[in-house]
Each structure stands twice: as C-alpha cells, then as structure tokens.
Amino acid sequence: MVKPVIAVTLSSRELADMVFWRRMFDGLQECGAIAFAVDCGTAPLNVAGLLEHVDGLLVSGGVDVDPALYGEDPHDPMVGPTNPIRDDNEIAAVEYACRAGFPALAICRGAQLVNAARGGTLYVDLPRDRPSDVSHRRTEEELATTAHNVDVEAGSRLAEWLGDSGRFAVNSQHHQGIRTLAPGLVATAFADDGLIEAYEATEQPLSAIQWHPEIDWPDNKASRRLLEGFVGSCQGLQPCHAASAR
C-alpha cells in the first residue's frame, strides 16, 4: 500500500528550543507516513507549489500567534515572541489543504493560529486571563509525561481516531488558549477547567488539538492511536485499532 505523504510546517529558527522535534517525524513515519518539513518561518512561500502532491498537513507548535490576528494588544507584556511570516505561511497552508480536501491537523500553536485566522479569539495568557488549577504549561522536557486530562466528545473525528470518546490523559505546554471558536468550528475536547482543548471544522477535514501526541506517542497509547488515525485519514482509511487501555 502506498504511504501517505504528510507535510509538517515548522520554523527552522525555533528547532533549537524544541527538545523532542525529531519525535514528530519519527511518530508519523512509525504510523505509516512519509513526512517532510516545510520551513514556514523565514520567508513567504509558494504554498500551492509545495503542497500540490501531499496527502496531509500537520501544523506544529511554536511561538505565540500575532495578537493582531485576534484583536489583542501586540505590546501586551505577556505576549511572547511571534513570527508573522510563519503565521501567514501556515494560514495559507491550512486554507490550501481545506480547498484541496486533504486532512489537516493543527497542534498547540497551530490550533490557536487557525482559530484566530478564521475569526476566533484567544486568551493572551492563561495564568493571568483565565487562572485555574489545571497545569496547562509544563516545561519542554516534561512533554514526555502527562499533565492533565481531557474529555473527548462522542461522534467527533478525534474520538474516531482515538477509537473511543471519554477521558484521556495528555501532555501540555501552552500559556495561551482558545477563548471563542471561529464560525464553522466545533469543540471536540475540554480540560477539567472547561478550556477548549480540541476542535474540528464542520465542513472540512480540519482538526486541531492543544496537546502534543507527536511527542509522547512512544509511551502514550492514546497518542499513538491519534497519530495512527490521522495518518490513516490521509490515506483514506478508517481507523482499524480497537480502544485499549489508556
């Protein structure tokens, strides 16, 4: 069977700060895909030319989304480094994927970016703007371990990939979060504090999550199932795994 080709967007300028970035490619390949990197962070890209022959798109995590995209103050002291060039390239990549009809999975920053680009809003800084007892921001090194639970909605694409709905333990490393969803998007998972942790487009094969299954997949069965489900969707296959112990 021909392996699906999946483009992974990232910024080469940020790789030095991403301890586990190689796991992202290893995980996709382990689940049956051919994955290649698209450096979105340095210059404007011809997205259509780069993605013309791919079967799927993964938008990876990284720096903060430009606050101008969701109507917040770019000079807010809680806004971290941003990269508007990366924002523009990744927005174009996601919209190309949706027009072409192949699956796209946006992770962490990617989930926030897509929502903001489509008219949704974000919390600039969760500890300040939406404090809770849930640990949403761990260190980069702690991404290999779980941080909190999420409840996945039945009937969602995410539940299909996971093989089940209900409660799952996930890792976490984000200080921003989704405040309101853009039109055409529906929430598919929530943290215990009610924060939206995942969503999907109602009319397009677009899914987004706040956690990082591409990093803890070697030790987290649910994360591996999620990656397998995404890769399978890029191949036009339904998930064939059975729900197993989480």
**Range(s) of the domain holding residue 125:** 5-234
Does residue 31 lie in a domain region? Answer: yes
Q: Which amino acid is at 120?
A: G
pLDDT score for 239: 56
E strands present in the chain: 5-10, 34-39, 56-59, 104-107, 121-123, 148-152, 166-170, 177-180, 185-191, 196-201, 206-209
Contacts of 185 by beta carbon, 8 Å cutoff, 6+ apart:
115, 118, 120, 199, 200, 201, 202
Query: Looking at the predicted structure, is the pLDDT value of residue 188 above 50?
Result: yes
Q: How far apart are CA 67 and CA 121, in angstroms?
A: 9
Q: How far apart are CA 179 and CA 126, in angstroms?
A: 10
Domain count for the chain, please give it.
1
Confidence class of residue 246 from pLDDT cuts 50, 70 and 90? very low
Does residue 92 lie in a domain region? Answer: yes
Query: Looking at the predicted structure, is the pLDDT value of residue 25 above 80?
Result: yes
Average pLDDT of the chain to the nearest whole number: 92
Does residue 246 lie in a domain region? Answer: no
Residues tagged active-site: 108, 212, 214
Does residue 239 lie in a domain region? Answer: no
What would the mean pLDDT of 229-234 be, rounded to a whole number? 97
CA 242 to chain centre: 23
CA max distance for the chain: 51
What would the mean pLDDT of 59-69 be, rounded to a whole number? 96
Answer with the residue of higher pLDDT: 19 or 7.
7
pLDDT score for 238: 57
Query: Looking at the predicted structure, is the pLDDT value of residue 51 above 80?
Result: yes
CB 162 within 8 A of CB 226: yes
| Measured distance between the N- and C-terminal CA atoms of the chain, rounded to whole angstroms | 29
User: The domain spanning residue 170 has which CATH number?
Assistant: 3.40.50.880
Query: Looking at the predicted structure, is the pLDDT value of residue 19 above 70?
Result: no
The pLDDT tens digits of the residues spanning 28-40 come to 999 999 999 999 9
Confidence class of residue 240 from pLDDT cuts 50, 70 and 90? very low
